Amino acid sequence: MTATLRPVDVLVIGGGQAGLAAGYYLRRAKADFVIFDAQDSAGGAWRHAWDSLSLFSPAQYSSLPGRMMPIPPGGGYPSATEVVTYLADYERRYELPVLRPVAVRAVRRGDGRLLVETGQGTWQAKVVISATGTWWRPYIPYYSGLRDFGGEHLHTAGYLGPEPLRGKRVVIVGGGNSAAQLLAEVSTLAEVTWVTQRPPRLLPDDIDGRALFDLATRRHRASQTGEQSESIADLGDIVAVPSVREARDRGVLKAEPMFTHITSHGVAWADGTTLACDVILWCTGFRPALGHLAPLGLRSPDGLIPTRGTQAIGEPRLHLLGYGDWTGPASATLIGAGRTARQLVAEITAQL
């Protein structure tokens, strides 16, 4: 690329699962488009996940449009490594125009187009699809004493496996799937205490990502019509994957109430109870990576960008994909990103 302004009809920011799903439908629509990926190889955020991470759904229910993810040897749910291999193959198979590594610094309004500024020059696009996900913005909630802690703060995003925690005293924070899965493996070689805002509840053993996606889709449709629908929270919080069931059977899947503050040596509760620890492992989620869109001034006080479907209300030339239900039902999942991308590209085609 050169430093001159280069025009394109559609520019996709992000080469992970959401960006590739958009690319598939843009290719089918014979659109003039390009995908920017800040990483140096394919696989999106899955390249950075911990070693034992696997999907919640079987391969046939965890695929992008046009190509089913291969079923792992022996069946079961695909691992993070297998997802990376699948995404790289998907990108090659459909000859998607991914340019990497290209980091987008800013998106600004131009004369009739959006200007996408990168370290290798500026591009002009009639439409921009932001698909940068959330992995790059790990969230740690603030507690009094957070910065005084003399041990290690570790977030899910930086966790690669349990071995570095062997023999240590670990406090795991968070009541979701990541916390339960990491508790299951860290508890085999470290002294672990699990703390949550409210008592965690396991979903029934027969419920996995398939049922959760269907429920999310029904809830989205109901919200569009003003109807009531069942809530995922009514069923439980945590998918009972094999490692979590094993931890449950060992009797370690027990959570303490959330602490109120942090000390130099550990955590403490309002009643004066304290607990010394070496590591606080924050399984507290992520926030959308939207910094590149800041010049557009679109964020609301909650940090999100108001959308109608995937289209930004304050900037119709911008679409957002893959950040969660606010940009499409279960759009942060493989199958959800694909289904949302189909409608998104249909709208963009009409828009152009």
**Range picked from 61-65, 210-214, 320-324 for highest mean pLDDT:** 320-324
Q: What is the dotted CATH code of the domain comprising 6-136+287-351?
A: 3.50.50.60
> Tokens 């965690």 correspond to what residue?
200
User: How far is it, in rounded angstroms, from Cα 200 to Cα 254?
Assistant: 8
What share of the chain has pLDDT > 90, as a percent?
Answer: 74
Phi-psi label, residue 213: left if phi above 0, alpha if psi -120 to 50, beta otherwise = alpha
Of the candidate ranges 101-105, 147-151, 211-215, the one whose mean pLDDT is the lowest: 211-215
Q: Which two tokens stand for residue 149?
A: 């802690």
> Terminal CA-to-CA distance of the chain, rounded, Å?
25
Task: Look at residue 164 and tell me whether its pLDDT is greater than 50.
Answer: yes
pLDDT digits (tens, 9 = 90+) for 207-257: 655 555 565 555 555 555 555 555 545 555 788 888 998 999 999 999 999
Phi, psi of 312 (to 5 degrees): -65, 130
User: How far is it, in rounded angstroms, from Cα 132 to Cα 22?
Assistant: 12
pLDDT the model gives residue 7: 93
Strand duo 152-155 + 261-262: pairing: unpaired
pLDDT the model gives residue 1: 42
Q: ∠76-44-285 over CA atoms, to 5°? A: 80
Q: Residue 69: pLDDT band by 50, 70, 90 thresholds?
A: very high
User: How far is it, in rounded angstroms, from Cα 88 to Cα 107?
Assistant: 27
CB contact at 8 A, 242 and 277:
no
For residue 93, count other CB atoms closer than 10 A to its CB.
11
For the segment 108-131, the average pLDDT, to the nearest whole number, is: 95
Instruction: Tell me the sheet residues that pair with 191.
Output: 169
More confident residue, 109 or 330: 109
User: How far is it, in rounded angstroms, from Cα 62 to Cα 304?
Assistant: 26
For the segment 172-180, the average pLDDT, to the nearest whole number, is: 95
Listed by start position, the domains of the chain span: 6-136+287-351, 146-202+237-282
Q: Which two tokens stand for residue 23?
A: 């690319």
pLDDT the model gives residue 2: 43
Task: Provide DSSP, 214-232.
Answer: HHHHHHHHHHHHT-----H
Largest CA distance in the chain: 65
Helices (H), the chain: 17-28, 80-93, 177-186, 209-225, 232-235, 242-250, 334-351
pLDDT the model gives residue 55: 87
Q: What is the dotted CATH code of the domain comprising 146-202+237-282?
A: 3.50.50.60
Task: Look at residue 206 and tell me whether its pLDDT is greater than 80.
Answer: no
Asked if the domains 6-136+287-351 and 146-202+237-282 are classified in one and the same CATH topology, the answer is yes
Task: Look at residue 81 and tell me whether its pLDDT is greater than 80.
Answer: yes
Cis bond upstream, residue 78 (ω within 30): no
Quote the distance between the C-alpha of residue 11 and its chain's center.
Answer: 21
Average pLDDT, the chain: 90
CB contact at 8 A, 318 and 209:
no
Among residues 197, 176, 159, the alpha carbon closest in space to that of 279 is found at 159
Task: Look at residue 57 and tell me whether its pLDDT is greater than 90.
Answer: no
Contacts of 150 (CB under 8 A, 6+ apart): 264, 265
Task: Look at residue 170 and tell me whether its pLDDT is greater than 70.
Answer: yes
Of the candidate ranges 70-84, 124-138, 183-197, the one whose mean pLDDT is the lowest: 70-84
Task: Look at residue 198 and tell me whether its pLDDT is greater than 60.
Answer: yes
Half-sphere exposure of 141 (CA within 13 A, CB side): 13
